[in-house]
């Protein structure tokens, strides 16, 4: 099993350009998440999905859109990139069981620079 994979690993954009980050998981997990990680701020939730065809906003959703058309994939889109979106982006998935044992499995991250 590959676990959680992210594409691409690195990307440089110019202000105003658009791009899509792809996350794929092969663990049949229900829940998937997109985070951004900035120095000193830990992981901040951008958007998440509790199942195929559903999405919800997290802490910092502005400037991003997501789609979950297939259970195994979760796409993060930047329509018009801004320098403030320079960050490392992590995707994660979890089975989503009640009871607190929601281990999140993370991808290796995508390092995005917006010039």
Partner 1 sequence: TQLLEQSPQFLSIQEGENLTVYCNSSSVFSSLQWYRQEPGEGPVLLVTVVTGGEVKKLKRLTFQFGDARKDSSLHITAAQTGDTGLYLCAGVGTSYDKVIFGPGTSLSVIP
Per-residue contact flags (x/-) with partner 1 for residues 53 to 92, judged by CB under 8 A = ---x-xx------------------------------x-x
User: Taking CB under 8 A as the rule, does residue 108 contact partner 1?
Assistant: yes
Choose which of 11, 22, 43, 73 interacts with partner 1 (CB under 8 A): 43
Distance CA 104, CA 110 (A): 17
Q: How far is the CB of 67 from partner 1 (least distance, A)?
A: 18
The closest alpha carbon to 70, from 51, 46, 47, 89, belongs to 51
Residues 18-37 that bind partner 1 (CB under 8 A): 31, 33, 35
Q: How far is the CB of 98 from partner 1 (least distance, A)?
A: 5
Q: How far is the CB of 115 from partner 1 (least distance, A)?
A: 22
What is the phi/psi pair of residue 109, to 5°?
95, 155
**Which residues of the chain form contacts with partner 1 (CB under 8 A)?**
4, 31, 33, 35, 40-45, 48, 50, 56, 58-59, 90, 92, 96-104, 106-109
């Amino acid at each position: 099993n590959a676990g959680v994979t992210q594409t691409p690993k690195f990307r440089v954009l110019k202000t105003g350009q658009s791009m899509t980050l792809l996350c794929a998981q092969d663990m049949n997990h229900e829940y998937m998440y997109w985070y951004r990680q900035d120095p000193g701020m830990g992981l901040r939730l951008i958007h998440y999905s509790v199942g195929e065809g559903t999405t919800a906003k997290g802490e910092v959703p502005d400037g991003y859109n997501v789609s979950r058309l297939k259970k195994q994939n979760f796409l993060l889109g930047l329509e018009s990139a801004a320098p403030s979106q320079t960050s490392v982006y992590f995707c994660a998935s979890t089975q989503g069981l009640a009871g607190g044992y929601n281990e999140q499995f993370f991808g290796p991250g995508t390092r995005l620079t917006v010039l």
